[in-house]
Amino acid sequence: MRLRSNNLSPEMVKEIEDFSEWVLKLGEGRIPTRSVNEYDDSSWIKIPEDLLIENNDDPIQQIVETIYPDVSTRFVEPNYLKDRCILTLINDCVDSVNQAVLSRIPMASRIYANVDTVSPVSKSSIEQDLNYSMEYLNNLEVSGVPNHLLELKVGIPVMLIRNINPSKGLCNGTRLVVTGLEPMLIRATIITGCKIGSKVTIHRVVASSAPTKWEFILRRRQFPLKVCFAMTINKSLIQTLQHVGIYLPRPIFSHGQLYVAVSRITTRKGLKILIKREEYELIGYTKNVVYHEIFNSLPTS
């Protein structure tokens, strides 16, 4: 983490340094751990109380209200969407959070449907076109391939899910704000990366599934965009934010994942964590998966 301003008070500098040290300890697995029962491993850590969002019956709405307060009116502010995001574990949770925030935006929506085909380079493609219904193809979800339906509104944040034109800042992971929705193109303004403020147009592209996933290759023609009020923790790796909500409907499951999430932000005040726990889990605890052997194998200077 880097201090961004020379105008910080000594108290603010101390606060940032303390938070940075906590994040570093978390990443290196130096925060004390425990198990939650006799059958579980001892990888659970206590999250500080001031970082926690108390869980209720509707955790998604709760974290949305915390990270996106007054979103129905403030989404038009230049930095409001740029500086905040909700991070979670899997795409199903991302979609649920995105839909919850999208429903609060008081703008007309436009839904773009894709065109799915079976690639002619796949084996027996003619027969497969007959055997697989369009409904079946439309419902397939593939990593790196846009979903069948894309619902957008002017003013919302979106993320590119593939490289389009890196020289113009249109890379996988670039975030943009939608400024126009037309039948054949989407207009947007870049809000992250080295081309912030650039106005761009996005067209449909053809994305293909890996040839080994099924007995056919799915070819989908759709805009390479995803609504990004929320994103997966893994996808957030290149992001730097001012307000981060971490939604954990289940424990972290891979090395360094919690560290990636909390290190997207430089100040403690901007971080909130909501843990949806099972009955046997302790309040305020979550897993911090760290493979210590990785650090032990690093050469010492």
Say if 141 falls within a structural domain.
yes
Cα torsion for 138, 142, 146, 147, to the nearest 10°? 40
> pTM for this one?
0.89
Domain end point (choices 177, 192, 227): 227
Residue 99 in any domain: the answer is: no
Residue 154: name the closest of 184, 189, 182, 178 by CA: 178
> Which among 183, 199, 227 is the end of a domain?
227
Statement to judge: residues 59 and 130 lie in one domain: no
Cα dihedral 228, 50, 248, 260 in deg (nearest 10): 70
- 111 lies in the same domain as 211: yes
Identify the domain boundary among 174, 205, 227. 227
Q: Do 207 and 258 lie in a common domain?
A: no
Helix, strand, or coil (residue 220): strand
Instruction: Judge if 111 and 205 occupy the same domain.
Output: yes
Structural domain tally of the chain? 2
CA angle 280, 41, 48 (to 5 degrees): 65
CA distance 5 to 55: 35
* Short-list 38, 64, 36, CA closest to 286: 36
Residues 147 and 245 in one domain: no
Q: What does the pLDDT profile of the chain (301 residues) look like in tens digits?
A: 444 556 778 888 898 899 999 999 999 999 999 887 777 778 899 999 999 998 888 999 999 999 999 999 999 997 999 999 999 999 999 999 999 999 999 999 999 999 888 775 555 555 555 567 888 888 888 777 888 999 999 999 999 999 999 999 999 999 999 999 999 999 999 999 899 999 999 999 998 887 666 777 888 899 999 999 999 999 998 888 999 999 999 988 899 999 999 999 988 999 999 998 876 678 899 999 898 776 566 666 5
Residues 110 and 223 in one domain: yes
Parent domain of 30: 10-89+233-290
DSSP label of 139: H
